[in-house]
């Protein structure tokens, strides 16, 4: 990559950072209450909310990790694209219930939904908050590390310096504008990702002629070697499992699809929608935008495989460089949008999880322990917490590489083990009660922390598959054999929607 091209990429990317900051600065004018600062409750239309949700879910893992896995292990992660349909599924089965909860009580966070559903059960809110906090910090650290290392490589700067410049700016505008600024900047960053996706998808078909030729080349190229790096091609890369064992491949397919339904980036956006009647449009817009980003990830993986198989580029030393190798081959315009899209993915997810983490510490946990804080003071405490947490997360993620690598695989399943008992089961089944949910959450938290220590689960499935299954099963079992307080009639009406 020439110096002039590198400077163009850096300039284009930092322009996106500047626009994000200006949006965040402007968004503070829209904060008229603590409910707006913490939840953006009932404030935005379906397109804005849809782009925001897409950007927050399609993290740096989606744009870098998914192509890397396809390049390295074959076709399995192509099925990750089906998680686009999971957005529509989430809004169909949960959307109107989550949005309706904001009509029967004051909702600024997922903890408020828990309070309404389970009669202000402080224990459930506390355990839920801890699980969400652990998962959010895991994702926050992973996004900061991904974005910082990318631009540290481009700039030649120290990663800590790069991290403080990029994510320090993000922390400042999030402190100023809370979830309002977070949602609006994520919508802008989601738009950048969608535009980049359209450009790269078109370029892929122009360059290769389509998947027929790509699949033919990949299945017949044999082994390509350059120096000490080799890549073996063959039909097995293209079967349903790729080169992974069937059980692991199936888990990789199921977890992203089901997990999308229970991610905070999706759940919190359900009550940010201004008009409840726009819920079908929100599901449609989010599914389409995520589909474009998902297909973007798939075509760059197969584009990289095609280029290596035809000898156009050398075999890649690691799969995670697939997206950059493909963009670099296409030329400067593809590079501009691809690098900006990866940065947008890292920033959007980081801003979401920074906000959620700070709000849990400053608002939900104190409430769970019975400490009431005035709304105006809550905002002040949250701003201080967000600023401190942002700085600590930057330092931690960039100086503890091994721990962050563990946490990066920890976040998705951890969040599911917390959200499924409370929101999925809790809002879909009237029989779910406080005792059952409390039991499921407690065991889920213990097993998550146990897994973080390196505990090896039996079988080939990823550890979080076991944790989620046990947490959900225990929630249902204990709910069936115990009784709890009668449900608020308004909440019961919401569940029956």
- Residue 250: both structure tokens together: 């199936």
Q: How much is the average pLDDT of 190-209?
A: 93
Residue 42 has pLDDT above 50, yes or no: yes
Q: Which of 48-52, 161-165, 228-232, 383-387 has the highest mean pLDDT?
A: 48-52
Predicted local distance difference test score (pLDDT) of residue 401:
54
Residue 402 has pLDDT above 70, yes or no: no
State the Cα–Cα distance between residues 181 and 379, nearest whole angstrom.
Answer: 14
Handedness of CA 132, 134, 139, 144 (dihedral sign): positive
Measured in degrees and rounded to the nearest 5, phi and psi for residue 317 equal: -65, -30
Q: Kindly report the pTM of this predicted structure.
A: 0.89
Residue 405 has pLDDT above 50, yes or no: no
Q: How much is the average pLDDT of 310-316?
A: 90
Least confident span in 143-157, 287-301, 475-489 = 143-157
What is the chain's length?
497
Residue 162 has pLDDT above 60, yes or no: yes
**Model confidence over 264-273: pLDDT tens digits?**
888 888 888 8
**69 confidence band (pLDDT: 50, 70, 90):** confident
Residue 48 has pLDDT above 90, yes or no: yes
- Residues 422 and 261 sit within 8 Å (Cβ to Cβ): no
- Residue 200: both structure tokens together: 């790269």
Q: How much is the average pLDDT of 161-168?
A: 81
Residue 140 has pLDDT above 90, yes or no: no
- Residues 84 and 291 sit within 8 Å (Cβ to Cβ): yes
Q: Which residues contact 228 (CB under 8 A, 6 or more apart)?
A: none
Q: DSSP 3-state helix, strand, coil percentages of the chain (rounded to 5)?
A: 80, 0, 20
Between residues 106 and 308, which one has the greater pLDDT?
308
Q: How much is the average pLDDT of 257-284?
A: 86
What phi-psi label fits residue 234: left (phi over 0), alpha (psi between -120 and 50 degrees) or beta?
left
Distances (CA, A) of 245 to 66, 188, 217: 17, 39, 24
Predicted local distance difference test score (pLDDT) of residue 264:
85
| CATH number of the structural domain 3-405 | 1.20.1730.10
Least confident span in 94-103, 197-206, 450-459, 461-470 = 450-459
- Which among 301, 105, 124, 280 has a CA at the least distance from the CA of 214? 301
Handedness of CA 251, 289, 422, 431 (dihedral sign): negative
| Enclosing H/E stretch for 367 | helix 365-368
Residue 1 has pLDDT above 70, yes or no: no
- Residue 433: both structure tokens together: 């009660």
Between residues 116 and 148, which one has the greater pLDDT?
116
- Residues 207 and 192 sit within 8 Å (Cβ to Cβ): no
Instruction: Label residues 92-102 b or e (16+ Cβ within 10 Å = b).
Output: eebbbbbbbbb
State the Cα–Cα distance between residues 272 and 157, nearest whole angstrom.
Answer: 38
- Residue 358: both structure tokens together: 């700070």
- Residue 271: both structure tokens together: 């009550």
**Model confidence over 73-88: pLDDT tens digits?**
888 888 777 778 888 8
Predicted local distance difference test score (pLDDT) of residue 239:
84
State the Cα–Cα distance between residues 39 and 408, nearest whole angstrom.
Answer: 25
**Model confidence over 411-464: pLDDT tens digits?**
667 788 888 899 999 999 988 998 999 999 999 889 888 877 777 888 777 777
For residue 225, list its beta bridge partners: 230
> How many helices and strands, by DSSP H and E, does the chain display?
23, 2
Predicted local distance difference test score (pLDDT) of residue 377:
81
**295 confidence band (pLDDT: 50, 70, 90):** very high
Q: How much is the average pLDDT of 169-180?
A: 87
Predicted local distance difference test score (pLDDT) of residue 158:
72
Predicted local distance difference test score (pLDDT) of residue 190:
93
| Residue appearing with tokens 């980081």 | 350
Predicted local distance difference test score (pLDDT) of residue 35:
81
| Residue appearing with tokens 């949910």 | 437
**Model confidence over 213-236: pLDDT tens digits?**
999 999 888 888 888 888 888 888
User: How much is the mean pLDDT over the chain?
Assistant: 85
């Amino acid at each position: 990559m020439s110096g002039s091209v590198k400077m163009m990429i850096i300039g284009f990317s930092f322009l996106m950072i500047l626009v994000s900051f200006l949006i965040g600065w402007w968004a503070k004018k829209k904060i008229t209450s603590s409910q707006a600062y913490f939840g953006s409750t009932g404030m935005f239309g379906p397109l804005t909310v849809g782009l925001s949700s897409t950007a927050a879910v399609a993290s740096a893992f989606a744009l870098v990790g998914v192509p890397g896995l396809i390049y390295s292990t074959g076709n399995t992660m192509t099925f990750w694209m089906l998680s686009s349909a999971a957005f529509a599924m989430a809004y169909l089965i949960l959307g109107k219930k989550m949005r309706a909860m904001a009509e029967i009580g004051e909702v600024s966070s997922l903890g408020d939904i828990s309070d309404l559903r389970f009669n202000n059960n402080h224990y459930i809110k506390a355990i839920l908050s801890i699980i969400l906090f652990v998962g959010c910090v895991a994702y926050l650290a992973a996004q900061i590390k991904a974005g910082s290392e990318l631009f540290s490589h481009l700039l030649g700067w120290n990663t800590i310096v790069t991290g403080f410049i990029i994510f320090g700016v993000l922390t400042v505008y999030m402190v100023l504008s809370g979830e309002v600024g977070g949602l609006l900047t994520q919508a802008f960053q989601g738009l950048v990702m969608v535009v980049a996706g359209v450009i790269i998808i078109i370029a892929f078909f122009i360059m290769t002629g389509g998947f027929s030729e790509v699949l033919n080349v990949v299945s017949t190229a044999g082994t390509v070697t350059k120096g000490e790096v080799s890549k073996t091609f063959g039909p097995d890369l293209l079967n349903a499992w790729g080169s992974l064992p069937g059980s692991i491949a199936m888990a990789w397919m199921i977890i992203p699809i089901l997990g999308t339904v229970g991610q905070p980036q999706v759940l919190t956006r359900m009550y940010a929608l201004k008009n409840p009647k726009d819920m079908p449009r929100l599901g449609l817009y989010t599914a389409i935008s995520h589909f474009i980003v998902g297909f973007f990830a798939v075509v760059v993986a197969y584009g990289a495989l095609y280029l290596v198989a035809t000898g156009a580029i050398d075999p890649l030393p690691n799969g995670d460089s697939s997206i950059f190798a493909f963009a670099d081959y296409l030329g400067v315009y593809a590079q501009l949008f691809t690098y900006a899209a990866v940065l947008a993915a890292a920033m959007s997810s980081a801003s979401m999880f920074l906000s959620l983490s700070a709000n849990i510490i400053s608002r939900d946990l104190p409430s769970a322990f019975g400490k009431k804080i005035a709304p105006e003071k809550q905002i002040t405490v949250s701003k201080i917490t967000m600023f401190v947490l942002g700085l600590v997360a930057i330092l931690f993620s960039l100086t503890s590489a091994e721990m962050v690598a563990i946490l990066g695989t920890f976040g998705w399943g951890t969040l599911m083990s917390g959200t499924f008992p409370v929101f999925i089961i809790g809002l879909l089944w009237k029989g779910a009660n406080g005792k059952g949910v409390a039991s499921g959450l407690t065991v889920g938290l213990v097993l998550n922390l146990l897994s973080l220590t390196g505990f090896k689960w039996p079988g080939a499935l990823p550890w979080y598959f076991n944790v989620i299954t046990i947490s959900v099963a225990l929630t249902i079992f204990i709910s069936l054999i115990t009784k709890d307080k009668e449900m608020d009639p308004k909440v019961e009406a919401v569940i029956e929607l």
